[in-house]
Structure 1
Amino acid sequence: MKRLLCVLCALPLLISGCGLISQSANDEVFTIATYGGSYGDSIRARFIEPFAEKYEVKVREEIAVSNVTLGKLMQGGSDIDVAFMDGGVSEHAQAMNVLQPIDASKLPNSKSMVKEAVYAKDGSNFAVSIGFYAVGLTYNTEKVKTPPKSWKDLWKPEYQGKITAPSVSNAMGLPFVLGINEAFGGSRDGVDIAVDRLSKLRVASYFDTAGAGENLFQGEEAAVGAAYASSASSLKERGLPIEYVTPTEGAIAGDIRAHIPEKSSNTELAYKFIDFALSVQAQTGLSKDLLMAPVNRNVELPDSVKDQMPYGRNGSIGDLNIPDWFALNENRQKWTIEFNQEVIG
């Protein structure tokens, strides 16, 4: 078995614990921390493989969730040259001083980026977004007679007992709670109003993962609620009577970001890779695969994809409700405890 594993690890393309290595004529290995699942598949197909071919470089993937990638960077980086991490974890990485500043002048495609896609702290860029996802209103057209339009609509009597939403252990859980707080007249500085309102909401179940949320709709345990736009589209493609609605207050957004670790050994290639990821071709492919909002203003999506963007057909990233992750991270433990005690019980 050990001999077989060694043979497998010598193959040009690997998708296993060994990571993926793209074959090239160049002996240099360029390491990218990326995701598993459909997100990792799309990043591989749209970014990594065409980049490796264009620049004739071997690319090794370190596949992990964002928090694990951050842990690797804090322990020395495992020779990671570019790291993909989600919003929220990205701010933790900045605070831990494990990232290099990003010089936008070295990214020609940054001139076409929306302003929301560049993240800075104390005058220094630390990350760039490669695409936004969002949580909005989702409902079963056969079970719900009056479609929801606002977050406040979740409290309608006919919805009670049929509702789902992300738990605070989900990446978008606390942003959802803050969105509810704002919808009812509160601020981003606390969750008291949201906790009070949510404690009175009859929820079928809170979901920890996007997949669990999809299962609740598929099994008809939930008929309406807060869910990922991509999940709603996935359910609809499977033939379920599901529709997604952008709330009047704006869908609550998160994103995938590219970073250059402080100990990256090949920053020149890192800039080339990030710029490649920001190109029209790469951005278009990612949006089609994952239904993420592109950050390059020059991307022109087909109507079928526009209809499934997290902000709706005629919206933009500027319409999304993007959390202040630095403030959220400072209060994460306190707000998590408050939600679990008062809402979950």
Structure 2
Amino acid sequence: MITQRQILGTGAAVLAATLTVAGCSDSGEQSGGDAGGSASIVVSTFPFGVEEFTQAVLDPFTEATGIEVEIDTGSNADRLSQLSLADGSNGVDVMLISDTYAGMGEEEGLFQPVTAADVPTMDEIAPFAVSEQYSGPAYSYQLNGTMYNTDELTAEEAASWDLYANADYAGRLALPDISVTAGQLMVSGVAASVGSGPYDVDAAFATLGEWAPNILQFYSSTTEMTNLLTQGEIVAGDALNGFATELVAAGEPIAWTAPAQGRYMATNRAMIPVGAENVEGATKFIDFLLGVEAQQASAEIVGDLPVNLGIEFPQEIIDVVGDIAQDPTGAGYETLDPREIVPNRDVWVERFAREVVGG
């Protein structure tokens, strides 16, 4: 049985629309501090795609193991804040979280190591999904690129960062704010293209400041950008690949392409908090999550890019990213180093607002 609850924080208005509270006290009693004997675990995850994730992963996991799953949902920031306030012991057994926030949690010592000795399927996943900088493995990833109107632009035009400097499209382009996942990937892509590397934000901010008059919106929600694109208000915008899947499948005149230079990807990671009450159940869940069955279903139902090398990629994913999905690092995609991002994040966010958006 899958039960659901919410972590409420600064994003309460958004989270209130996602799930209802059910059965929290019962699950808490079952967990009861028994590291291996509990018949339930608490999984903290994102507030979107919960129904699809339940179908693809949670229900099959419970059927295979007998372990019931209770879900906590919330934004990355809210969930990490709750875990931090509880010093890693807020009742969560597995936290599914994006890499930047996982890196923040690592800085605070909130997570414990997940190893292949306890999670054998870690030996089946792509090398980039296992990193010494994170205690837990990646279970999915997202590629940064440009989503564009195929009636207005060619793939070659959309792949060039020069697009955003082109005055012919002034007021018809969008870029993400640095505070969202695509934003940092975009900044690092520009930095690698015009500067000395992905963390040369001085060069990136100067260039982005020059592009700013052409940008209709620096968006904080990808839905804002996709709405502008489908309504014809913009011709292109920097975005993660996953947001193009449904639009492409629906036959919209929209495509997604990787940048010609400066290709970066974000990972979603499976972490076990230091205060997890059911570590054995948590490791069983992560082992299942990384296995072929769950990875295949996640790709088909959720639309996630999988890290397990043994699946067959759905046509819907191939239609957006092509062969990149089968070997993103071979296609030039890299992950960013949290040791560079996390200590500088607050300063970079402030500088972006001042030098790019407000410049």
* Fold match by TM threshold 0.5: yes
Report Cα offsets for 1:8-39 as digits up to 9, x if no partner. Answer: xxx97557332578999x9733111112222x
1:291, 1:88 → 2: CA distance? Answer: 21
The aligned counterpart of 2:107 is 95
**1:84 positional shift:** 0.7
Amino acid at match of 1:213: M
1:335 aligns with 2:338: no
**1:174 positional shift:** 2.2
1:70 alignment partner, one of 47, 72, 80: 80
The worse-fitting range, judged by mean Cα deviation, of 311-320 and 146-155 is: 311-320
CA contact (8 A) 1:87 1:255 kept: yes
SS at structure 1 position matched to 2:57: helix
Amino acid at match of 1:126: S
Q: How does 1:65-214 map to 2 (within 5 A)?
A: 65-76=75-86, 77-121=89-133, 126-144=135-153, 147-201=157-211, 202-214=214-226
The aligned counterpart of 2:338 is 325
**1:317 positional shift:** 4.2
Amino acid at match of 1:32: V
SS at structure 2 position matched to 1:119: coil
Name stretches of at least 5 consecutive residues in structure 2 with no aligned partner.
Answer: 6-18, 31-36
1:43 aligns with 2:35: no
SS at structure 2 position matched to 1:37: coil
Overall identity of the aligned pairs, in %: 23
The Cα RMSD (Å) is 2.6
2:4, 2:82 → 1: CA distance? Answer: 21
1:257, 1:314 → 2: CA distance? Answer: 19
1:29 alignment partner, one of 12, 17, 40: 40
Q: How does 1:149-298 map to 2 (within 5 A)?
A: 149-201=159-211, 202-249=214-261, 251-298=263-310
Amino acid at match of 1:209: S
1:12, 1:178 → 2: CA distance? Answer: 39
1:18 aligns with 2:21: yes
Quick check: which one's helix share is greater? 2
Report Cα offsets for 1:26-84 as digits up to 9, x if no partner. Answer: 9733111112222x333322221111121112211111112222122223333111111
Name stretches of at least 5 consecutive residues in structure 1 with no aligned partner.
Answer: 1-10
1:250, 1:311 → 2: CA distance? Answer: 18
**1:236 positional shift:** 2.4
CA contact (8 A) 1:137 1:151 kept: no
CA contact (8 A) 1:292 1:310 kept: no
Amino acid at match of 1:120: E
Aligned residues: 330
**1:288 positional shift:** 2.2
CA contact (8 A) 1:133 1:291 kept: no
TM-score (norm 2): 0.84
2:300, 2:236 → 1: CA distance? Answer: 25
CA contact (8 A) 1:307 1:313 kept: no
2:63 alignment partner, one of 24, 29, 53: 53
**1:261 positional shift:** 0.8
Amino acid at match of 1:137: T
1:108, 1:289 → 2: CA distance? Answer: 24
Structure 2 vs 1, CA of residues 152 and 325 (structure 1 numbering), >3 Å: closer, same or farther? Answer: farther
